[in-house]
Amino acid sequence: ILNVEQSPQSLHVQEGDSTNFTCSFPSSNFYALHWYRWETAKSPEALFVMTLNGDEKKKGRISATLNTKEGYSYLYIKGSQPEDSATYLCAFRDYGQNFVFGPGTRLSVLP
Amino acid sequence: DAGVTQSPTHLIKTRGQQVTLRCSPKSGHDTVSWYQQALGQGPQFIFQYYEEEERQRGNFPDRFSGHQFPNYSSELNVNALLLGDSALYLCASSFGYQNSNQPQHFGDGTRLSIL
């Protein structure tokens, strides 16, 4: 059974703070790591698809890094805004086409 | 350009009944995946359809079955409903079965409540 973990489970930050959270996944048989943002009452929205060890992706104030050898990815948000409040999900895909989501990190940005 | 659409939005059933959920993929997508999301958990993979065949399946019992039509739309059927089947059911579409570098596009989900 593939296990994908995310930490912390939830996070409260003040507007303007920078924050980061972690996704841990199996280091063997890695194929890709996806990050999604899921706002309340909306559908999950793709942020990044990462495939190479050492990959860094950026989209506005959000960026992500990937370490496939040790099995983790970090998601960073610079200068958090209230509209960043959402659940951030990572999903691990292996060569067997298994696709496993973590439980998510719930971020609340207080104005 | 329509995104992924799911119907119905909400559904209430009783134990033992059967239910069918529907999904239309984003235009240009040919692969449909279904997920079950229980409260406090991440989405759990049920199965994936491509070229009208089930290509991959998660750890769900045979009570969960599906179908994909020639227009790429898909149905999820659940028989003999249990209280534990109460969840949000998400449909996601993508292009190409083996092209795992493509992100999945999700619908808004169907909220299924079992009484």
Residue B100 banded pLDDT, cuts 50, 70, 90: low
Contacts of B109 in chain A (CB under 8 A): 43
Whether pLDDT at B33 is above 80: yes
pLDDT in tens, B55-85: 989 999 999 999 999 999 999 999 999 999 9
**Would you call B103 an interface residue with chain A, using a CB distance cutoff of 8 Å?**
yes
Closest Cβ opposite residue B45 in set A6, A32, A99: A99
Residue A49 has pLDDT above 80, yes or no: yes
Cβ pair A103:B40 closer than 8 A: yes
Q: Which has the closest alpha carbon to B11: B27, B22, B26?
A: B22
- In chain B, residues with a C-beta closer than 8 Å to the C-beta of A57 are none
The yes-or-no verdict on residue B99 having pLDDT over 70 is no
pLDDT of res. B97: 76
Phi first, then psi, for residue A101 (nearest 5°) are -90, 150
From chain B, pick out residues whose CB is under 8 angstroms from the CB of A104: 42
- Residue A44, min C-alpha distance to chain B (Å): 6
**pLDDT at position B2 over 80:** no
- Measured between beta carbons, the chain B residues lying within 8 angstroms of A32 are 100-101
Answer yes or no: do B42 and A89 touch at CB < 8 A. yes
Cross-chain Cβ contact B104/A32 below 8 Å: no
Closest chain B residue by Cα to residue A42: B108
- Tens of pLDDT, residue by residue over A22-45, are 999 998 889 999 999 999 989 999
Write the secondary structure of B38-75 as one string of H (helix), E (strand) and C (coil).
CCCCCCEEEEEEECCEEEEECCCCCCEEEEECCCCCEE
Q: Whole-angstrom Cα distance, residue A103 to residue B37?
A: 10
- Cβ–Cβ gap B45/A100 under 8 Å: yes
What's the one-letter identity of residue B24? S
Q: pLDDT of A72-109, one tens digit each?
A: 999 999 999 999 999 999 999 988 777 899 999 999 99
